[in-house]
Amino acid sequence: MSVSEQNPAIQSSEDMIAHLQGRLAAMEASTTWRMGHPLRLFLGRAPGLARILRLSLKGVWWTVTGQFPTRFRLWKQTRAAKNLRLHPASLPDAVSGTGPASVLQDEAHQKQSVNISSLHFPREAWPEISIIVPVYGQIDITLRCLASICAFPPKRPYEVIVAEDASGDPDVEILRRIPGLVLIERTENLGFLRNVNDAAAIASGRWLYLLNNDTEVTSGAIESLAALLESDPTIGLTGSKLIWPDGCLQEAGGIMWNDASGWNFGRGDDPDRALYRWRREVDYISGASIMLERVFFVASGGFDERYAPAYYEDTDLAFRVRASGKRVVLEPASVVVHHEGVSHGTDETQGIKVFQARNRERMLERWGGILHQQHYPSGRHVLRASARGRDRRTILIVDHYIPEPDRDAGSRATLGVLKSLVEAGWLVKFWPENRARTAWTSLLENMGIECLDSSCPQSFPEWLTIHGMDLDHIMIMRPTVAQKIMSFLDMGGGTFLSFYGHDIHHLRMMREAELTGDEGIRTQAIAMQRLETRLWRQFDAVIYLSEEERDYVRRHVSCAPAHAVIPYRFDVPAKERKPTPNRTILFVGGFAHPPNIDAALWLAQIILPLVREKIPDVKLVLAGSNPAPEVRSLAGADVRVTGSIPDEELERLYDHARVAVVPLRFGAGVKGKVIEALYRGVPVVTTAVGGEGIPGIGNVAIIRDTDVEIAEALKNLLLDDALWSRCSSEGQGLVMREYMAEQHQASLLKALGEVPA
C-alpha cells in the first residue's frame, strides 16, 4: 500500500518528459547509436532473429563480464518462488468445496500452489524478528508468501504473525493448521493500516518486519535487513529491492518529489545494474517489505491513521524516522518478489485504491515544508534525488580499476579516499576504467558507493552528458587514466576537477632507469614527465601523498595548485605488541610492481645470506599478489612466497613476524607497507626510498641503504628485545598521531577546497 503504486500519469510530468527527451537526444547523438542504425533497421524487419541475437549477446556479455553467476542465482530464486505449490491432497478435511480446493481444479491456479504439509514455523521464547503479514482473504496468495519464508528463513530467532482482517473467507481454516504460525483472526474489519498497528502491538521481536502477503522472499532477504539495522545504529528503517515475478525490477527504493508524488526508482529495468546494487539512503521504501525497530514503531503510534485505510502510510513512516534523527536506507542484498496489485488491484476509481489520491494531499499537508526544502520538482536531478543527495557534495572518482586492497598499496590509498568522503556525507560515484566488476565491488557498494561497471549502459562521455550537471567534483586518479579522459571534461567549467597522482610516476621510472641503465625505461620516464607536468597545469587541485611530492610539483610548475594529503588511514587504535620469540622477517608488496620485484631479489639473494651467517634459523616471508616468476623461484625451506592473501592472513603474518623490511632501491611516493607495519607494531628496516614522504620516519624506523647495513639492522632487531620494544612503541605512536581517519579526512577535504586553507 505504497505511494509507489500511483497512477503512472502522475510520474509522467512535463519535467520528466523534458528530462527523458534530453537523455534520448544525448543517446541519439552518440557515435554508437548512429553506427548501429543499419543493424537496427534490419532486425526490426526480423523480430524472431532479433530476439535470438539479444539473448545470445546477453549470455556472452554476462559471461565475459562475470555477471553470469549473479544472473543465474537471481533466475533460480525467482523460479523457486514461482514454483511453490499448494497440493489439494494436503488441504484439511474441514475445507468445503467452495474454498481453494475447488478453485485449484483450475489448471492456471494449480501453477500457484503450495505444499501445505511443508509449512511450519518455530515458536521462540525470545524472537529477534517479528514478521507481520497482514491478510484479507486470498489464502492461496498468503500461503505462497509463507512458503517462501519457510524456504528462506532468517538465521536468527523469529516469529511469523498473520493478521487476518475479518474477510469472512472460510479458507482461513488452512492457516489455523500451520504449526508455529501466530494467527490473529479479527472479528471486525480494521483496514490494512490499523490491522498492522494492532498486530505490531502483540509482537515481541526487537525488529519488526512488515511484509505484504503478495510477496515471496528470496535467500537472505530477511536476514540482510536485520544485519544492516544491527550493524549501523544511524539507520532507523531499511527495506528490500522489489522485483516482478518475471525478474524485472519493480522498485529499488522510492523518490518523493516536492509535490508529494512518487517514483518507483528503476521500475521495469534490470535489477542487477550497478545503479540498483549499492546501499543508499532513499526517501522511502515500499511497505511491501520493510524492517525497523519495534519499539520505535509502537511508541510513535505505528502507521499514522490519518492515512487509513491505506496508502502513503509507509512514506509518512519514512519521514518520521528521519525526523527522529535516523536514516532510511535501501538494502539491495534483500530481494523480494512482489506481485504488485494482487491484493488491491491497480484501478484508482474503485476499492481501496481510491484513497491513494486523497492521501497524497494529506502527505503534502503534513510534510509540505520539508518537501519544498529538501526535494526536487518531479523528474529533476534524478542522480541526486534517488539517493537523497540534494544537500550533499557529489563526486565522480575515476581510476583504472576497482580498488583491491589485498593487491597493492595504491588500492588502500584509494579506499581511504572513498571512506573519508562517504563518512563526510558525500555522494560518491566510482568509474573503473576497465569497467569490470570484481570481488571487491560489493565492498564499495555496501559503503554506499555506486560503481559504474559494464552494467552501466552509457560510455563515459554519455554518462557525463546525462549526469554532469549534478556533479560538484570529478577526481581523476593516475596520469594514464587522466590522459584518456581529459578531452571529455569541461576544463574551467563549474565542476571542481582534481588530479590524485598516487605518486610521481616519472620519478619512479627515472630512478629505475638509473639503477638498471635501461634506456627504454629512461625514454618512457621522459614521456611520463611531459604528461604529468602538463596535467599539473590543468586541474583545480593536484594531490599527492607527501609534502616532498607537493613541493616537487610546485618547483617544476609554479602555478600548479599542489596539495599534500595524508596517504593512508586507520580506523581503530593500534594494539600494543610484545616481542615475538621467532626469527621471521616479513616483506609485503604487490609483485606486479617492478620496485618490489627488485627489492625481493636483493633481499633474498644478497641480504638474507648475510643475516643467516649469524642467525642460521632466520625465516623470510615474501607476501603479496602477483609474484613474478623470478620471485616465485626464491621459495625454499627458509623462504615462503605467499601470493595474494586476504587481510586476515596478512594480519596473522604481521602478528607472527619479528621484523618488517622494505628494501626498495627505487620507487616514488609514500610506501603503504611501511606505515602498515608501524601500525601493526612490527619494527621496520627500510631504505631512504622506502621511508620517503613519511615525516619523522628516521626516529621510529632504521633507515639503511647498503646490503651490509640492512643485514646488520635486521640482526639487531631479531636479537635485541629492548631495541625491538622501543621501535615498536615509537612506530605505533607515529601512526596514531598522523594517520588516523580524522586526520586523513581533514587533509583530503582541505585539498578539495571544502575547508579553509
- What are the pLDDT digits (tens) for 6-29? 433 333 344 444 444 555 555 555
What's the grid cell of residue 514?
638509473
Domain range summary for the chain, segments of one domain joined by + = 88-93+119-339+349-385, 394-502+537-564, 584-739
Q: Strand 289-293 vs strand 327-338: parallel, antiparallel, or unpaired?
A: unpaired
Sort residue 169 into left (φ over 0), alpha (ψ -120 to 50) or beta: beta
What letter would DSSP give residue 284?
Answer: B
Which pLDDT does position 560 carry in this prediction? 95
d(CA 57, CA 52): 9
| Cβ atoms of 553 and 571 closer than 8 Å | no
Across the chain, mean pLDDT equals 87
Comparing 59-68, 131-140, 255-264, 743-752, which segment has the lowest mean pLDDT? 59-68
Which pLDDT does position 140 carry in this prediction? 92
Burial of 96 (0-12, 13-18, 19+ CB in 10 A): exposed
The architecture in CATH of the region 88-93+119-339+349-385 reads Alpha-Beta Complex (3.90)
What letter would DSSP give residue 575?
Answer: P
Which pLDDT does position 31 carry in this prediction? 56
Average pLDDT over residues 98-120: 51
Which pLDDT does position 340 carry in this prediction? 76
Query: Quick check: 432 pLDDT over 80?
Result: yes
Which pLDDT does position 59 carry in this prediction? 65
Average pLDDT over residues 345-350: 51
Which pLDDT does position 69 carry in this prediction? 60
> What is the dotted CATH code of the domain comprising 584-739?
3.40.50.2000
Which pLDDT does position 443 carry in this prediction? 95
With bands split at pLDDT 50, 70 and 90, how would you rate the model's confidence at 351? low
Comparing 3-17, 34-48, 305-319, 529-543, which segment has the lowest mean pLDDT? 3-17
> What is the dotted CATH code of the domain comprising 394-502+537-564?
3.40.50.11930
Same fold: 88-93+119-339+349-385 with 584-739: no
Percent of the chain with pLDDT over 90: 75
| CA 348-350-355 angle, 5° bins | 60
Which pLDDT does position 449 carry in this prediction? 98
Residue 309: cis peptide before it, omega within 30 degrees of 0: yes
Average pLDDT over residues 59-70: 58
Average pLDDT over residues 275-295: 97
Q: Strand 449-451 vs strand 427-432: parallel, antiparallel, or unpaired?
A: parallel
Average pLDDT over residues 458-464: 94
Query: Quick check: 343 pLDDT over 70?
Result: no
Identify the CA nearest to 235 among candidates 381, 383, 448. 448
Q: Which of the residue ranges 167-171, 314-318, 670-674 has the most confident prediction, judged by mean pLDDT? A: 314-318
| Cβ atoms of 644 and 406 closer than 8 Å | yes
